[in-house]
Structure 1
Amino acid sequence: MKKPLQTKVPVIPKKQTFAKVKTEHVINYEAICVFTAIGFFLDEDTYFKDEVCLKPGTVNTIDEDGFLIKSESYFQWHYSPRDISFEEALSEFSELFESIIDQQVGSKRVILPLSGGLDSRTQAVALNHLGKNVEAYSYSFENGYNEANISRQIANACGFSFEAYTIAEGYLWDKVKKLSSINQCYSEFTHPRQMAVAEELKSKGDVFSLGHWGDVLFDATTKEQLSIDDEVNLILKKIVKPGGLQLAKALWESWSLDGDFELYLRDRIKSLLSQINIENSSAKIRAFKSMYWAPRWTTVNLSVFENIHPITLPYYNDKMCQFICTIPEAYLEDRKLQIAYIKKRSKVLSKITWQEQKPFNLNNFQFNKSPYNLPYRINNKLYRTLKSFTGKPYIQRNWELQFLGKDNDNNLKTYIYNDSFYSLIDKKIIDSIYHSFREQDRVKFSHPLSMLLTLSLWQKNNS
Structure 2
Amino acid sequence: MKIKTAIIPTKQSFAKVDAPHELHLEAICVFAAIGFFLDQDTYYKDEVVLAPSTKYELNEKGFVVNSEPWFHWHYTPRDITFNQALKEFSSLFETIMQEQTQGKKVILPLSGGLDSRSQAVALKQINADVFSYSYQYKNGFDETSIAKKIAEASHFDFKRFKISNAYLWGVIDDLLQLNKGYSDFTAPRQMAIFEEYAKMGDVFSLGHWGDVLFDSMNVSQLSKEEEVRVLQKKLCKRGGVDFANTLWNAWGLPGDFNTYFASRIEGLLGTIEIKDTNAKLRAFKSKYWAPRWTSINLAVFEKAKPITLPYYDERMCEFICTIPEEYLKNRQLQIAYIQSKAPELARIQWQDQRPFHLNNFRYNKIPYNLPYRIANKVKREIKAVSGKPYIQRNWELQFLGDANKQKLKEVLLDSDLKKWIPKSILANYYNSFFNTDHLQNAHAINILLVLAKFNQKYNG
TM-score range, shorter chain: over 0.9
Query: CA deviation digits over 1:51-94, x for unaligned, max 9?
Result: 00000010111111111111210000000000000000000000
**2:95 is matched with which residue?**
99
Report if aligned partners of 2:415, 2:452 keep a CA contact under 8 Å in 1.
no
Cα distance in 2, alignment partners of residues 315 and 325 from structure 1: 13
Q: What secondary structure is seen at the aligned counterpart in 2 of 1:208?
A: strand
* Match among 249, 252, 256 for residue 256 of structure 1: 252
SS of 2:425's equivalent? helix
Q: Counterpart in 2 of 1:334?
A: 330
Give how far 1:444 is off.
1.4
Please state how far the C-alpha of 1:440 moved relative to its aligned partner: 2.1
Please name the residue that 2:138 is paired with: 142
Q: 1:443 matched to which residue of 2?
A: 439
8 Å CA contact retained: 2:179, 2:296: yes
TM-superposed deviation, 1:433: 1.2
Q: 2:50 is matched with which residue: 34, 46, 54? A: 54
Question: How far apart are residue 418 of structure 1 and its match?
Answer: 2.3
Instruction: Rate the CA distance shift 1:195–1:419 in 2: closer, same or farther, 3 A.
Output: closer
Matched letter for residue 445 of structure 2 = L
Partner SS, residue 170 of structure 2:
coil
CA contact (8 A) 1:116 1:354 kept: yes
Letter in 2 for 1:256: G
Deviation (angstroms), 1:203: 1.3
How far apart in 2 are the matches of 1:144 and 1:301? 23
Q: Secondary structure of 1:223's match?
A: coil
Note if 1:224 corresponds to 2:202: no
Q: Distance in 1 between matches of 2:308 and 2:74?
A: 25
- Give the C-alpha shift of residue 419 in structure 1: 4.5
Tell me the equivalent position of 2:294. Answer: 298
1:319-341 C-alpha deviation (Å, 9 max, x unpaired): 10000000000000100000000
On the 8 A contact 1:114/1:137 being kept in 2, the answer is yes
What does 1:38-77 correspond to in 2, within 5 Å? 38-77=34-73
Counterparts in 2 of 1:209-220, with a 5 A limit?
209-220=205-216
Distance 1:439 1:263 in 2: 32
Pairing partner for 1:21 from 17, 23, 27: 17
Alignment check: 8 A CA contact 1:415 1:453 kept: yes
- 1:36 and 1:105 mapped to 2: Cα distance? 38
In the alignment, residue 34 of structure 1 is paired with which amino acid? Answer: V
Q: Which amino acid aligns with 2:351?
A: Q
2:279 matches 1:279:
no
Asked whether 1:389 is paired with 2:385, we answer yes
Once the two structures are overlaid, the 10-residue window that deviates more, 312-321 or 218-227, is: 218-227
List per-residue Cα deviations over 1:178-200 (Å, max 9, x = no partner): 10111001000011110000001
How far 1:223 sits from its partner (Å)?
3.4
Computed over aligned residues only, the root mean square deviation of the Cα atoms, in angstroms, reads 0.7
Task: Say if 2:340 is the partner of 1:320.
Answer: no
SS for the counterpart of 2:169 is: coil
> Aligned partners of 1:23 and 1:112: how far apart in 2?
43
Per the alignment, in what secondary structure is the counterpart of residue 257 of structure 1? coil
**Structure 2 residue aligned with 1:453, among 433, 446, 449?**
449
Which of these residues, 263, 267, 278, is aligned with residue 267 of structure 1? 263
Q: Which moved more, 1:99-108 or 1:210-219?
A: 99-108
- Find the partner of 2:104 among 88, 103, 108: 108
Aligned partner letter, 1:84: I
Contact residue 222 and residue 281 of structure 1 kept, 8 A: no
Counterpart residue identity of residue 99, structure 2: Q
Q: TM-score w.r.t. structure 1 length?
A: 0.98
Q: 1:292 and 1:266 mapped to 2: Cα distance?
A: 15
Describe the SS at the equivalent of 2:274: coil
Residue equivalent to 1:204: 200
Whole-Å Cα distance in 2 between the matches of residues 148 and 384 of structure 1? 18
Native 8 Å contact 1:40 1:297 kept in 2: yes
Give 2:355's aligned residue. 359
Work out which of the residue numbers 389, 403, 408 in structure 2 matches 1:407.
403
Partner Cα distance (2:271, 2:2) in 1 = 25
State the alpha-carbon separation in 2 of the partners of residues 36 and 159 from structure 1.
44
**2: distance between equivalents of 1:104 and 1:68?**
32
Alignment: residue pair count:
459
Q: Which residue of 2 aligns with 1:84?
A: 80
Q: Secondary structure at the match of 1:23?
A: coil
* Paired residue type of 1:26: E
How many angstroms apart in 2 are the aligned matches of 1:445 and 1:31? 20
The whole-number CA distance in structure 2 between the counterparts of 1:296 and 1:184 is 12
Deviations 1:235-277 (A, max 9, x none): 1111100111111111111111110101100010011102210
2:340 corresponds to 1:344 = yes
Residues 9, 56 of structure 1: 8 Å contact kept = yes
Structure 2: stretches of 5+ with no match in the other structure: none
> AA paired with 2:161?
Y
- What stretches of structure 1 move > 6 A for 4+ residues in a row? none
Residue 431 of structure 1: CA displacement? Answer: 1.4
TM-fit CA distance, 1:141: 0.3
- SS of residue in 1 equivalent to 2:94: helix
List per-residue Cα deviations over 1:77-112 (Å, max 9, x = no partner).
000000000000000000000101111111110000
User: Please, which runs of 5 or more residues in structure 1 have no aligned partner?
Assistant: none
SS for the counterpart of 1:173 is helix
The residue type equivalent to 1:100 in the other structure is: I
